Structure 1
């Protein structure tokens, strides 16, 4: 099979995400899914497994030479993964708890990791029929029923004094997040569900920052990091060190921050 261009790989990922999203919405609208609990006590549903099946089948058919690492399949060892120059990184439903709670805040995440960094990112929000995507070095974009085109982070009028909009979890006390922020700033909060949707809202200028405290996996940030970075923002570990991909035995992320306008003195604001 001839080598795919980055644009072709992006289209393959977009098609997989949309197909999975359509299947997810059918199960969501009909309430026809089962809920389970993983060994780590996190939730998973038959919709997660169905979406994973659809995505993996699509990627294997179109890119049989590219390995797949998904939250919902057995993970290859670091010894095997270290041989991969590139691979697909998947979270079939980011925000499973929100899917179960019927908040609508869940998304499909697909990233292509190349040389241990996100090269392509695709996030599909099925309830909003919104598709966010990026290729490294080519900008970030959104397609939705309302509008389509390039997206970018919000530029604050005064990076040192403007009100900062914080995307926060629907299930996390507001005070927990505000307590990590410099008391000299003024903040507004925007409650949302999945990590990737918060990142997308920052990428398109609807929020300025998001701090994630708690367990996540590399599949929770791969697609987001590509999109946010191409929109002019950044994702770091909460101590402002870079996130790593496919370089450790564990696939768990450290606590991390998603940041918009890079002229803002974030290291002075976030008191981690």
Structure 2
């Protein structure tokens, strides 16, 4: 954990293999990490995120004087739960009310829910249409919460067979087991590239990454509305990698939105 102003390391957390995911609960009380050492670790805050109220000597001088940025961050976390899993964890996501931690595994057909308030009870629901079907024909490698906080988008990969990459939509609650929709991304998937996506701010569609430099805009109807080449351009006579590593959509001041993406071409791109 790093201080944003000074770049000073405030706290370190260690795993024995790649840490592939880090997530914070919406209320800031929990942090979770997922590592290829087959561990999902949950941490809880042991100190407050905000400093105590300022006294007379610490009062801001004017509107540009930010008291929070002027204070040394006191927020620290300690490990409260370690979950040993059978295969590589791929996606973690906190419930919007900070009551559950959700995670997926590379070799599992289930979405796991860890109860953060009730002795770490674990519930599951199946990604397969039939609840008794335990066959693993794909892995869910990524999850994203809809802006309404009511729907989870689950992005598939590592398929056994000829099916392409899909986005499965489910209700966010553990007992909402019905698959609401299936969106085909048009990508065949890649054994060495993990797909990523980001909801549009109004929830009307998703931006998805590709291994060939494109960002795709997919509507909830399943239609690909736009496909724009943003990564992998020839630079100084040498072609660079086309893989789009990740993306995020952010609203703009004029009420529109833009996409910030990073690629293995070592570029950060902003697209509108």
Q: Is the pair's TM-score, using the shorter chain for normalization, greater than 0.5?
A: no
Which structure has more strand as a fraction of its residues? 2
TM-score by length of 1: 0.28
Relative to its length, the structure with more helix (as a share) is 1
Larger radius of gyration: 2
- Structure with the bigger RCO (C-alpha within 8 Å, sep 6+) is 1
